[in-house]
Structure 1
Amino acid sequence: MNEIIQQFIENSSYKIHTVVQDYETDEVLVHIRADEVFSSASVIKVPILIAILHHLQQKGGDLQQVLTIASENVVEFSVITEQQQTSATLYELLTWMIITSDNTATNECIDFLGMDEFNRYFKEIGLSNTVVQRKMMDFERQQLGLDNETSARDMQHLFKLIYEGKLLEPKWNDIAIDILCRQRSQDSLKRYLLEPVKMAHKTGGLDTVDHDVGIVYTDGTAYFIGVFITEVTNNEKAKQEIGLISKMVYEHVVNKGGKDLNAVVNVMIANLHDKADVLSELVDEALYGMPVEVLEDVDDKWVRIRTFYRYEGFTLKENLDLNSETLTAWNADANDVVIESFADVLTAPKIQSAKIMTLTRGAFIQVVEEAGIEKGWSKVQLVSGECGYVRSDWVQNRVKVYTTTEDLFRQQVVQTALRYLGTPYRWGGKSPLGIDCSGLCSMAYMLNGAYIYRDAKIIDGFPLREITLEQMKRGDLIFFPGHVAMYIGDDHYIHSSLGGNEVNVNSLNPHEENYREDLATTITGVASLF
């Protein structure tokens, strides 16, 4: 895990500090630049919260006491300022300070104890690099070199104490965690997490820094993650990088190859229908080796499933392997994918040998080591445990989460889409045997480590965001009524079109021979991963 994150960080144009700790095993999974000190931005508000709650616990204070808002504390980026409040309870101040990062509330909280008392308490609990030296929006002190600072290691230490309840009595600790779990800024650590995740965390950002840090609670376990980015020139891109690191960590710690995925596709293509009926609409295709979650045992033939990319449908039980022992090993070890249109799995590493089965592009497979194997061939293991051989050039390591730069991702996703040129149109399809418009786009993204909604829609909880047509770049998606295409540059787009009968390229330029007026004049939106 540490090596994967390190590779991602090396590709970043920013300076990233990060620590990840699995609370179930107590293992520190990632520690990169953990002890370097940096501007804390608004994550300083977490130790401020804990210090005040500790003070109230020790002194018998009241969270409902009302404080008058001092005029010198009124600053921008504040709900209190917007509402022109002149007073608030201490509980309100603490809550707004965390959940909306309210700067006026924070300034009042700093006055409540004073900087010296905060810094004394920080040292007392072992935060050796954390210090508060200015109020929010006090850029004069910042220019004098007096900034609020911390380190990834300090945040790791603080949140571990919060998680274990070692700083506050249960009543007060529960209040702290409750407030942190109500954080409203969800565009960093939670950005690419599809599942509803409980997270006690705090974001922080300035023009040149972006942070998000906290505890991720999952079924039966929890982990700490802190990602702190400095030397930032584009805040939106920095938040994306935090989200990508978070996604990689989540997949490693929580899913561990598939937490809720309790079946795996054992046929070349498993049809997903909208009803438990082979004559009903084909809505999707799950490809060989893909793990799925069985949601409902419908009858002796049918189950309702959810794919690992969160699409649901009905499929025949015969399309799935439901053996729990098989699943555990497969989900952990099937780390390769077929990239050729079709790949025959043969009984021996020579073209004259018998065929075991054929796989399509996108099928998951497990490459296993074999000494002395003939050059150009790879030994692979199937879901059943049977082994065979495929051409080495036809498989590659699965990209579970993309770690490339934006420019490289755009280039690769377009190249992947172009590999489907000429593929026949098939409603609900997503293999070289036949593919529809959203199947083409979702497969191109999936094969490069990004998971968008499978249908021609922009759905909350998935990573695409709407942009303007003028902002569109290669790899972005163009939406039409009931249709989607991928922009590939120079006014051209690739799509699987029922009207064109196959995957082809058309133009938005009316002067081009492959211009399609019916599409160019009915664009409903454009979306980007970036």
Structure 2
Amino acid sequence: MQYGICNLSIIPVRIEQNDASEMVTQLLFGEHFKVLEAQKKWSKIRNAFDNYEGWIDNKQYEQITEETYSNLENTTISLAADLIDFATDENNQFSTVCIGSNLPFYNNQNLILNTTKFHYEGEIFTKKLSKESIIEIAYKFLNTPYLWGGKTPFGIDCSGFTQMVYKLCGYKLLRDASQQATQGEVLSFIEESEPGDLAFFDNNEGIITHVGIIMKDNYIIHAHGKVRIDMIDHSGIFNLDNQKHTHKLRVIKKII
């Protein structure tokens, strides 16, 4: 088994091994993974955080040892808390770091990515936050444009949004909406929900295709065109701009 780490700010993870293939998710600076299959130009990887698999360009990551991978798995995670910042290496070269990026072996504004030492002066998250913090963190992504497979303030999809918000608060969600819907406890009614709970929505075939974060007073924050706030009722999401329902409610889940 081979192992790797993302040494760039944001790289695409694709469904097939070519540049024109659909992007299904992204790797952020400092995220580590297993290499399941290595080809001349592409590698199929499994992200350590959520076990999500896909193909990445071999030029866009560094190999790490099994020992380093194991140490990363057993080290308290430190996450970048600012929307955008940078880390500086020993040659005074900048690497862009966006919110939710991993800061491997972080200690006193220093971190080590593979064999390179970086200095990072931005804010960080290192511990679990309260459930009340979920909405506060979600607001950081407000008006982020929708991007299929994205999970950054430059572009994000619905499940990338919920996953990143929960990650920043110290909790693990799976990557896709249909996967996230398998987590947590089912709530029977919207009235039972609290701010920070997740609402899932399905299509005409009954497949869960959308997720958002419930707020107080029957509002929901979700990624649809952009990260936006709309109303939610027993039918689904009511879009406040066009005054019509856009998503059909399937289930509400309490994760924490």
Is the contact between residue 451 and residue 463 of structure 1 (CA under 8 Å) also seen in structure 2? no
The match for 1:305 is 45
| Cα offset, 1:310, TM superposition | 1.6
Is the contact between residue 380 and residue 390 of structure 1 (CA under 8 Å) also seen in structure 2? no
The 1:516–1:453 alpha-carbon spacing in structure 2 relative to 1, beyond 3 Å, is farther
After TM superposition, list the pairs within 5 Å mapping 1:405-420 onto structure 2.
Answer: 408-409=130-131, 411-420=132-141
How many angstroms apart in 1 are the aligned matches of 2:41 and 2:2?
A: 19
- Percent of pairs with identical residues: 24
Q: CA RMSD in A?
A: 2.8
**Deviation readout 1:247-273 (Å, 9 max, x if unpaired):** xxxxxxxxxxxxx88322111112111
Greater percentage in strand:
2
Matched, 1:294 2:15: no
1:269 aligned residue (2, 10, 32):
10
The match for 2:116 is 385
How many angstroms apart in 2 are the aligned matches of 1:335 and 1:296?
A: 26
| Cα offset, 1:332, TM superposition | 5.0
Matched, 1:507 2:249: no
How many angstroms apart in 1 are the aligned matches of 2:155 and 2:230?
A: 19
Structure 1 unaligned regions, length at least 5: 1-259, 370-377
Matched, 1:341 2:67: no
The match for 1:315 is 56
| Cα offset, 1:463, TM superposition | 2.9
Structure 2 unaligned regions, length at least 5: 203-208
Is the contact between residue 5 and residue 63 of structure 2 (CA under 8 Å) also seen in structure 1? yes
How many angstroms apart in 1 are the aligned matches of 2:179 and 2:74?
A: 31
How many angstroms apart in 1 are the aligned matches of 2:42 and 2:52?
A: 17
Matched, 1:357 2:95: yes
The 1:479–1:354 alpha-carbon spacing in structure 2 relative to 1, beyond 3 Å, is same
Is the contact between residue 508 and residue 515 of structure 1 (CA under 8 Å) also seen in structure 2? no
**Deviation readout 1:344-371 (Å, 9 max, x if unpaired):** 12369xxxx95521111111114334xx
Letter in 2 for 1:269: I
How many angstroms apart in 2 are the aligned matches of 1:417 and 1:276?
A: 33
Greater percentage in helix:
1
Aligned residues: 243
SS in 2 for 1:506: strand
How many angstroms apart in 2 are the aligned matches of 1:511 and 1:518?
A: 4
How many angstroms apart in 1 are the aligned matches of 2:220 and 2:197?
A: 10
1:526 aligned residue (231, 244, 252):
252
The match for 1:464 is 184
SS in 2 for 1:525: strand
| Cα offset, 1:314, TM superposition | 1.0
After TM superposition, list the pairs within 5 Å mapping 1:4-83 onto structure 2.
Answer: none
After TM superposition, list the pairs within 5 Å mapping 1:60-209 onto structure 2.
Answer: none
Normalised to the residue count of structure 1, the TM-score between the two structures is 0.42
The structure with the larger Rg is 1
The match for 2:206 is none
SS in 2 for 1:340: coil
Matched, 1:483 2:210: yes
SS in 1 for 2:137: helix
Letter in 2 for 1:362: G
How many angstroms apart in 2 are the aligned matches of 1:420 and 1:307?
A: 23
Q: Which has the higher contact order (CA 8 A, sep 6+)?
A: 2
| Cα offset, 1:444, TM superposition | 0.9
SS in 2 for 1:438: helix
Is the contact between residue 289 and residue 383 of structure 1 (CA under 8 Å) also seen in structure 2? no
The 1:511–1:386 alpha-carbon spacing in structure 2 relative to 1, beyond 3 Å, is closer
The 1:422–1:505 alpha-carbon spacing in structure 2 relative to 1, beyond 3 Å, is same
Is the contact between residue 231 and residue 239 of structure 2 (CA under 8 Å) also seen in structure 1? yes
The 1:514–1:283 alpha-carbon spacing in structure 2 relative to 1, beyond 3 Å, is same
| Cα offset, 1:291, TM superposition | 1.6
SS in 2 for 1:442: helix
The match for 2:154 is 433
Is the contact between residue 135 and residue 196 of structure 2 (CA under 8 Å) also seen in structure 1? yes
Is the contact between residue 265 and residue 288 of structure 1 (CA under 8 Å) also seen in structure 2? yes
